[in-house]
Amino acid sequence: MEIQTMVKPTTVENTAIKVQVKGLSVYYGKFRALTGIDLTVHDRKITAIIGPSGCGKSTLLRSFNRMNDLTPGCRMEGEVILEGENLLAPAVDVVDIRRRVGMVFQRPNPFPKSIYENVAYGPRLYGIRRKSDLDEIVASSLKSAALWDEVKDKLHQSGLSLSGGQQQRLCIARALAVEPEVILMDEPASALDPISTLKIEELMQDLKKDYTIVIVTHNMQQAARVSDFTAMMMIDEQRAGRLIEYDATHIIFTRPKDKRTEDYVTGRFG
Amino acid sequence: MWKHWQAVSGGIVNKKIKPALKPNRILRLHRIFRHGDRPWQGLIMVVSIFIIVLMAAIGWMLWRESSGARFTFGWNFLAPTTNASWDPVNDHFQAWPFIYGTLLTSLFAIIIALPISLGIAIFLVELCPAWLRTPLTWMVELLAAIPSVVYGLWGIFIFLPVVVTPIGSFLAETLGNFPVIGALFAGPMSASGASRLAASLILAIMIIPTIAAVTRDVFLAIPNSQREASLALGSTRWETIWKVLIPYGLSGILGAVILGLGRALGETMAVTMVIGNSIEGSLSLLRPGYSMASVIANEFAEAVSKLHNQALVEVGLALFVMTLLLNILARFLVWRVASRTPQEVRA
Amino acid sequence: MTRFGKLLNQNRIAHARKRKTGNKVMLSLTGVLTALALVPLVWIIVYVILRGGKSINLDFFTQLPKPLGMAGGGVLHAIEGTLIVTLLAGIFSVPPGVLAAFYAARFPNTPLGMALRFSTDVLSGVPSIVVGLFAYAVLVKPMGHYSALAGGAALAVLMLPTIIRTTEEMLKLVPHTLREGSLALGASEWKTSLSVLFPAALNGIFTGFLLALARAAGETAPLLFTTLGNERYDLKAIISGGVQSHQGFFQILDRIVNQPVDSLPLTLWKYAQQPYPERIEQAWAVALVLMLLVLIVNITARVWIQVRTRRMEG
């Protein structure tokens, strides 16, 4: 199998680069899970990562906020550069990275606290104590997450009392409350019903005005609907994940260069 | 799984017998006993009833055997008082000094044991490298395996002179001079070091494994998504533990404390050996005292008068009721945690 | 950047150092507390081995106690007593415990099943001294004398909850395909229980039993007024005397279990309170024997469980 090491989008739009991944490899113990990833994430665009399951999509996503550090025996090589700063450098403050790069998980995971406390959790960490400040942050985050109208009268009810789709938007609001620059979404709608999924997708279009979004999805229609750029990943003979094609979404889905991408997006892939 | 099995075997037992319309008696008996299932189920049921009866019998026996003391002294027996008398010669008994000793030493033991146990649980679940986890868990649990009398012996000859007396004297000189809490830390320490403080410290060592083990299980049961949610927002590990994990597991931790308290209340030998066994009026932690279990251990075999005997059984009854209530409370808390968790999964 | 972005930024920088230091301090503290909890464990084990080891010799295991104040002698009587009492406790607790566990595992959600679970929980929380009072009231008082029998029964009550719980857990671990396989072959339920489930769970049940037994062997409080103690107890003399006077098996057995006996923890407790240095040194030796007994059983049982679960999983 021929492997291209460097894939660049053919259509370069007039957008700044937000994150640049250079030669990223990730190991779990001796096992190499990702190898030689090069990728540029554009500012205020939605970048989708697609590929068959087990190809390292989530591992790649978790390199952007160093959540991989939490897996024992995990080691990363290469560079992930956010606005000129290499996030993988040993001296980097992991805690600060995770504020700048927010994350939304596959299953909604609100804290068993009130809706208000869920959103206020992040700001409180950074020392914001004044009630009026917190109130405003909570309100504006919930508005940005398109949840405000549904919960404004019950801010002090448990976050767990909400429906699944609402819980996921609560988690988005919680991430927004610390003013991240990039938001990572790890299959954010895979546990939700179609209507809730649609709401999340609409929300992403709103959020993209202010935030850079990277989303992992196994749902190709979703990637085609919401994203501006798409990265296609696949595992090689050593079972390590590789980036095989990266381009503007409409190109990936209409005239991909790689045969494997074409097979995958047209559903012919085994 | 068991339900499944029940369904399978239930089909064999019930449905085969019922449709047979009024077979004659012998045939029916034959069918019942051929498989041997009815006698088997009957046997395990009778044994189970026996266990339940045993539990009830403990309470009932204590109630019956203390009737004379309950009748003679009424609630006064248990009521707080400053100058209680425990007088086998004149057959007058009030149990307050023992109740006070038991409560004070147990509570103080919890105050010491809780932070240490929390630290152990957090270290084991959240920080400890994988290879160290099992040996450390075992070592902590071995603390609970050492017999109570061995703790007592070590307490009398080593722990009291080397650790308790210096700590006690220090507390008497410092906290002892404060206006309100001073009463709790009034000196002087006895020369041997035997005191309520000694009992509390030994109790703390003995209940740490209980509290740590339950708390560890509570932390292990917290879904990883909670940790990830907090860390992804930029919390430090400690902030995640303190602001997310501990609130999440709070009622479970409370359950652990209550189980530990139950153990402390009933602990007999080690306490008897180091508490000093004295009924003096002082409220101080640093003075010798007495506990409910200790007075039973020391006096029951030699109690001559009937009333003395019954008074000691009543102390046992009070102890039984206390541990029973704590147990019910702990189960309730654990049950509440268990019934709350699944909600999080709904999506 | 929004107003909140600025607010966050200011506060974030001001708090960063404090948060990081707090994190480091508190995380290290948990390690320190863990180490602190292990200090008494190491201290007790090492000290008891060093001091108890000095007074241990062959006589200690084979001789009866010498009169007070005299050096030498052993604690054979207490070793015999401990063996007899724990053996009795095992006999009294295992059959009902295992049978009740079958019920608990088979009918967990029936009213009786729930009552059984609750009773087991309560029993495990009853202070051992209270169990001693109970055994005194139901056995010693009606029989009119202290005995190994009453002590064994008291310890059995303490062992029951552990045996029920471990057996129940082990029965639940048996894969249900095994049960169904047996039932599908037409075996009746009780045959399945005894010939399939019980053997499959036997190893786990046995380790649970050993742990409970080790615990019971170290108990003192329930024996204080059930076995009472008996420094002149001499198993050899009872048996040889019985044989010589042509007593039957049951008569001899009756003399063995139906009189007061001593036990190791009981002896330790009494010796520790006596003003004779020889006795105190012997108390340390008893502590050593008791501690080693309990620790060895504990560690063996744990290693055994670990090895077996690994084999089952792997």
This model of the complex carries an ipTM of: 0.93
pLDDT for res B339: 61
Select the residue of B229, B345, B346 nearest A111 (Cβ to Cβ): B229
Q: What pLDDT does B10 receive?
A: 41
C295 contacts B293? CB cut-off 8 A: no
Per 3-state DSSP, chain C is made up of helix, strand and coil in percentages (nearest 5) of 80, 0, 20
Please name the helix (run of DSSP H) or strand (run of DSSP E) that holds residue A242, with its range, or none: strand A241-248
Whether A227 and A205 have beta carbons less than 8 Å apart is answered as: no
Q: Give backbone dihedrals phi and psi of A41, rounded to 5 degrees, phi first.
A: -110, 125
| Residue B342 pLDDT exceeds 60 | no
Asked if the Cβ–Cβ distance from B234 to A98 is below 8 Å, we say yes
| Per-residue model confidence as pLDDT tens digits over C161-177 | 999 999 998 888 888 88
Please give the Cα distance from C247 to C255 (Å, whole number). 10
pLDDT computed for residue C306 by the predictor: 78
Q: Band the pLDDT of A2: cuts 50, 70, 90.
A: very low
Chain B nearest-CA distance from C309, in A, is 14
Residue A47 has pLDDT above 50, yes or no: yes
Tokens linked to B85: 């008398």
Rounded mean pLDDT, B123-135: 92
Band of residue A12 on the pLDDT scale cut at 50, 70, 90: low
**Which residues of chain C form beta strands (DSSP E)?**
none
Binned at pLDDT 50, 70 and 90, residue A222 comes out as: very high
> Testing the interface with A: which of C1, C2, C3, C4 to mutate, by most A Cβ within 10 A?
C4
- For an interface test with C, the pick among A92, A119, A126 (most C C-beta atoms closer than 10 Å) comes out as A126
Give the closest of B39, B65, B149 to C220, CB-based.
B149
The sign of the dihedral angle between the CA atoms of B227, B230, B236, B240 is negative
Q: How far is B179 from chain C (nearest CA, A)?
A: 31
For B189, which DSSP code? P
Does residue B100 sit in helix, strand or coil? helix
CA distance C74 to C282: 8
Q: Which of A115-119, A209-213, A259-263, B147-151 has the lowest mean pLDDT?
A: A259-263
A91 at interface of C, judged by CB pairs closer than 8 A = no
Please give the pLDDT value at position B29.
Answer: 65
Q: Which pLDDT value is given to residue C7? A: 73
User: Does residue A53 surpass a pLDDT of 90?
Assistant: no
Rounded Cα distance between B309 and B296, Å, is 9
pLDDT digits (tens, 9 = 90+) for A123-165: 999 888 889 999 999 999 999 999 999 999 999 999 999 999 9
Q: Which of C2, C8, C20 sits opposite A126 (nearest CB)?
A: C8
Q: Which residue of B has its CA nearest to C289?
A: B150
CATH number at residue A244: 3.40.50.300
Q: Percentage of residues in chain B with pLDDT exceeding 90?
A: 67
Residue C208: pLDDT band (50, 70, 90) is confident
- Whether chain A has a CB inside 8 Å of the CB on C15: the answer is yes
Confidence of residue B1 (pLDDT cuts 50, 70, 90): very low
A12 falls within a domain: no
Q: Which of B125, B233, B344 to mutate to test the interface with A (most CBs of A within 10 A)?
A: B233
Bridging pattern class, strands A229-235 and A212-216? unpaired
B274, B105 in Cβ contact below 8 A? Answer: no
Total structural domains within chain A: 1
> With contacts defined as CB-CB under 8 Å, which chain B residues touch C99?
43-44, 47-48
**How many pairs of residues across B and C have Cβ atoms under 8 Å apart?**
288
Contacts of C16 in chain A (CB under 8 A): 93, 96
Q: What does the angle CA C263 – CA C266 – CA C267 come to, to the nearest 5 degrees?
A: 85
Q: Is residue A144, in this structure, part of any structural domain at all?
A: yes
Which sequence spans correspond to the domains of chain C? 1-47, 55-313
Give the structural domain span for A92: 17-265
Residues C210-257 pLDDT 10s: 989 999 999 999 999 999 998 889 898 998 998 899 888 889 999 999
How far is A256 from chain B, CA to nearest CA, in Å? 34
Other chains touching A, judged by 3 or more CB pairs under 8 Å: B, C
Place C3 in a pLDDT band, splitting at 50, 70 and 90: low
CATH for B87-340 is 1.10.3720.10
Question: Contact A174/B229, CB-based, under 8 Å?
Answer: yes
Position A269 confidence tier, pLDDT thresholds 50, 70, 90: low
Q: Where are the domains of chain B?
A: 2-72, 87-340
Position B287 pLDDT exceeds 60: yes
What are B265-285's pLDDT values in tens digits? 999 999 999 999 998 878 899
Contact C4 A99 (CB under 8 A): no
Q: How far is B133 from chain A (nearest CA, A)?
A: 14
The closest CB to that of B119, out of C30, C112, C122, belongs to: C30
Residue in B314, B243, B329 with CA at minimum distance from that of residue B75? B314
Residues of C in contact with A209 (CB under 8 A): none
The model's pTM: 0.89
Mean pLDDT of chain A: 89
- C-alpha count within 13 angstroms, C-beta hemisphere, residue B179: 0
Query: What pLDDT does C27 receive?
Result: 95
| Min distance B217 CA to chain A CA atoms (Å) | 19
How far apart are the CA of C117 and the nearest CA of chain B, in angstroms?
9
Compare all CA atoms of chain B with the CA of A94 and give the residue at the minimum distance: B234
C273-312 residue pLDDT tens? 888 888 999 999 999 999 999 899 888 888 887 787 776 6
On whether any CB of chain A is under 8 Å from the CB of C122, the answer is: no
CATH topology of domain C55-313: MetI-like fold (1.10.3720)
Specify whether the CB–CB gap between B86 and B183 falls below 8 A: no
Angstrom distance (rounded) from CA C40 to CA B112: 14
